[in-house]
C-alpha cells in the first residue's frame, strides 16, 4: 500500500460524527517498558508491561446543538464508558481501511474554551481506554 495523506478521516464519538471538527488525530496502542535486567546481563533487557490505549486529537470547538461541546461535556461528567471509532478514510471499512475502536473509553478531562485573540478555538482531547478490550482494529464494523 502506498503512502497516505489524511484528508477524510472519520471520527465518531459516542455515536456522534465529529469528523469535520478534528484537525489532528493520533491512535495509540502501547505497553509500559519493564526493566528485566539481571546480574550477569551485558545489556539492559526490557519486557512489555501493562498495556495502554488512547486516541488523542485536536478538535475545533463548536457550541451548536449536537456538536462538539454538547457531545464532549456530558461525556466528561459521566462515569460510564463510551465508544470512539476512527477510520482513515470515508471509504468502506476493510483490511486496507481499518476501523480503530476504543469501545470502552473515558474522557478524563475537557477544556471547553481555549485560544487567544483572533485564534480558532481548539482543544486537545484524549480518549483513554477504560476496559479490558483495549484498542480493537476491525476490518468490518459490527
Q: Looking at beta carbons, which pairs linking 85-88 to residues 24 or more positions away fall under 8 Å?
A: 85/10, 85/11, 85/12, 85/141, 86/9, 86/10, 86/11, 86/25, 86/27, 86/55, 87/9, 87/10, 88/4, 88/6, 88/9
- Each residue's pLDDT tens digit, 89-123: 999 999 999 999 999 999 999 999 999 999 999 99
Q: What is the three-class DSSP state of 116?
A: coil
Domain residue extents for the chain:
10-138
pTM, whole model, 2 decimals? 0.91
What pLDDT does residue 142 have?
79
What pLDDT does residue 1 have?
55
- Each residue's pLDDT tens digit, 20-57: 999 999 999 999 999 999 999 999 999 999 999 999 99
Q: Which CATH architecture has domain 10-138?
A: Roll (2.30)
Residue 20: how many CB atoms within 10 A of its CB?
A: 10
Amino acid at each position: 500500500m502506498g503512502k497516505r495523506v489524511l484528508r477524510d478521516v472519520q471520527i465518531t464519538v459516542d455515536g456522534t460524527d465529529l469528523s469535520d471538527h478534528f484537525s489532528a488525530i493520533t491512535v495509540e496502542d502501547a505497553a509500559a517498558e519493564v526493566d528485566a535486567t539481571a546480574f550477569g546481563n551485558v545489556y539492559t533487557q526490557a519486557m512489555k508491561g501493562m498495556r495502554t490505549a488512547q486516541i488523542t486529537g485536536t478538535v475545533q470547538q463548536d457550541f451548536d446543538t449536537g456538536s462538539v461541546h454538547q457531545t464532549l461535556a456530558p461525556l466528561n461528567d459521566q462515569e460510564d464508558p463510551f465508544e470512539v471509532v476512527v477510520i482513515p478514510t470515508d471509504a468502506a471499512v476493510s483490511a486496507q481501511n481499518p476501523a480503530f475502536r476504543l469501545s470502552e473509553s473515558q474522557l478524563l478531562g475537557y477544556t471547553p474554551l481555549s485560544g487567544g485573540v483572533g485564534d480558532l478555538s481548539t482543544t486537545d482531547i484524549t480518549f483513554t481506554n477504560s476496559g479490558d478490550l483495549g484498542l480493537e482494529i476491525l476490518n468490518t464494523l459490527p
